[in-house]
A and B are shown apart, each in its own frame.
Chain A
């Protein structure tokens, strides 16, 4: 089988790693370990200088991309490379065509109306502000603010006080 070894610098949970798959080291006549799990294969190849720098591999036989999880030296200048399938990049072209329920997204760009328990909001530290309504019926100024309630008939003409004040 033929494999292409890569050294990728991206996080393993990047779906499309195409931009990081540069300068492949292609090796032919690679032999799978026996038995060989397609999802977690081990492959045997001849040791070469710099093999320890590779962390990602494409195995054409399986048409899948794998993380290199370990390199084990064996006899006869050979080594065994343990791999784990990277389903994200392997199927990235199909994945983006799928629909799903998105619970968190960077591309939303800002907090939404969905409460976010992971966002460090200091509910105990608050800014206090206030705003007054423009009008009020109440006053502190001098004016007519006393209400006198009386009971009795209409005034008599027999009594008078001072002039109207």
Chain B
């Protein structure tokens, strides 16, 4: 939308800014002409073009600044040293962020503020009412006012709105205000970004890492005869900045005036020239409005107001808020030693700062670069020349470069007045942010559990299983004879008892790192890999192409996605046709469960998950084996028992025999004792040999203890197709479209001139005004058109 010429004057009369010998007006920077070549807001009021106290016309904004721009996210900080109690609410106010903006679109103006063309104006004073023009420092959204006292009055009156920027003759470059310390009020240095990034430059990011402001410098060809772009709209004498034209939110709930508790501070203070721009850096996009009480204009720090004082030195007579163009990593210093009221707002240089700056500048939709050679004389389609992208006239921080600049509408703009953006009727911006991406799945790290998980090759598994049945495979007879055998081996385990489960999972690449299988204390020496916890596998992408000419018949198509082990999923043709479908498998290798994630790539290139199907791709396999240590133990006990019985029985028989012999001596006294003793010897021998026989039998018939773990499962899924497959079921249309179209037309629903159609046409709601048929005839026409005619 062009600048409103009924407010800002005829474009042919707009006033050239400063010195620029160029005569082609399409290549000039121009500002308003409210009459008699006067451009200030004061002139606008005095000439009757502007109304005092009413925000100026927004048509100065050639584009909108999206929510991504810092101007949509201005913060306001309480400028209070110590604490201050709001007399109206009793709420304590201290140095902290008070409020911040969050606009979807911000309209703005570039402002020039030299007084050259405002000389000779009549100075008005306003003394009545609470809105006394007063010393003001932070009211930076311009509303026109009379110039009553430039030193402390309504400084907005001197602002001069820029009405034309020659797009083809304007290249923006970033500059920074930097410093090497945070503990003094020493002035910082202004440096262009490319110099700052040059380590050999006197002021660079290593020796001056603290950045207090970032701004935009304008370079332009001052005339056709020069070959190098020069700085223009410079800040050296005439602060040039950016101001917001939309309503600011800081006055809502703003604390009241200290000395007049019924009035808001915002009402007491008028509007100032302290837009974002100063004599040390132009068009600030990061930093604070640093003009502040006691700290002077254009300083690199902010002086807080002593809340305990009233009058000129205290909060009563000073603005309370510090507008801040923020950065996510920015912070305030602690009070500077020499002056406890002073703070510095800064960021420290980091690698991604250059890109952050690019995004901020790109919001203005103009050509820009951070390359010196390109800035000085590079073509507008050279590789390092960037151009902010505008979506429906709004800049969101994206940009193009090189040849791609030609594809943007600004390429064809001569001036910003060629924009069709209408600040009074900005495009609707969806407040939701859709720029997020649904995260790609990723496997969790290895789980820390008491279990060990091995991936075993198909060829090695039989070897492991056979070892579980091999009595001696995991035992060492030679060790059994050792004295420490009991300690080493009896405090151990059956190898089979170490097995929790065995699963078959028909998936590749499940292992990482080489190892051998341990079964408790036993190293089987079977090679294996450690098993991953889970794997994520991308099956690739298929573009679902229309099969019937990309029309409604395609939407009658039935799309079924077969997902191995997870079943089938119906795909909505409306969603998937002409989009790329992706399948990703998430497989939990601990349990064998798997999820197939079906997604598509949306129109803005983002991945959207549409379906998730779940299944199981593993089977449990039963494992059996000897309880070898139990067996060993039984064998050992039985063997020892036999040995002992043999020794014991021989000794016991001998002992009994000797007892019987000795008893013969006493037989004379009692012959029956001797007989009984001999019979007892016989019984002992018999019992002893019987016990030995039983022990031998037990040893020879030791039952081998076995154990089975798990049970058989089924995995027929692996017998079917193992690749995800899309099945198309396409309706058949045996139609001769030429004949069909001629006899009945093709269904559509569009509005237009009937002359734009030919052949058979059915049409309703025809606007028949403009010719003089009778009502009956017009009804007949409507009826005929609705029934179908040949145009």
Contact = CB atoms under 8 A, between A and B. Distances in A.
Interface of A: 10-11, 13-16, 38-39, 85, 87-88, 90-91, 94-116, 118-123, 125-140, 142-156, 158-165
Contacts of B757: 102, 105-107
Given A97-B754, A138-B565, 18 more contacts: A14-B789, A100-B764, A100-B766, A105-B762, A106-B746, A106-B757, A116-B747, A122-B731, A123-B556, A129-B730, A133-B583, A146-B461, A147-B455, A150-B452, A153-B520, A156-B492, A156-B521, A158-B488
A159 B617 CA distance: 35
Given A104-B761, A146-B461, A87 B768 contact: no
Interface stretch (B118-126, B364-372, B533-541): B533-541
27 contacts: A10-B790, A39-B774, A85-B780, A99-B751, A99-B752, A102-B752, A105-B762, A107-B759, A108-B748, A123-B731, A126-B731, A129-B728, A129-B730, A130-B725, A131-B728, A132-B721, A143-B458, A144-B529, A146-B456, A146-B504, A151-B451, A154-B518, A156-B492, A156-B522, A158-B476, A159-B476, A165-B527
A136 B618 CA distance: 15
Given A132-B723, A153-B520, A161 B473 contact: yes
A134 B539 contact: yes
A104 B521 contact: no
Contacts of B520: 150, 152-153, 155
Given A13-B784, A15-B791, A110-B746, A102 B728 contact: no
B732 A151 contact: no
Nearest to B502: A148
A125 B731 CA distance: 6
B65 interface: no
Interface in B764-789: 764-768, 770-771, 773-774, 776-777, 780-781, 784-785, 787-789
A149 B451 contact: yes
A119 B525 contact: no
B452 A87 contact: no
Interface string B531-551: 100010111111000011101
Contacts of A136: 537, 539, 564, 585, 722-724
Nearest to A162: B525
Chain B residues touching A, majority SS:
mixed
Contacts, number: 392
A39 B500 CA distance: 97
A88 B789 CA distance: 9
B747 A101 contact: no
A103 B535 CA distance: 53
A165 B781 CA distance: 92
Given A113-B552, A147-B453, A156-B522, A139 B506 contact: yes
Given A132-B724, A146-B456, A102 B763 contact: yes
B727 interface: yes
Given A122-B733, A146-B455, A164-B527, A100 B765 contact: yes
A123 B734 CA distance: 11
Contacts of B548: 111
Contacts of A150: 451-454, 498-500, 517-520
B669 interface: no
B742 interface: yes
Contacts of B501: 148-149
Contact of A138 (B564, B741, B754): B564
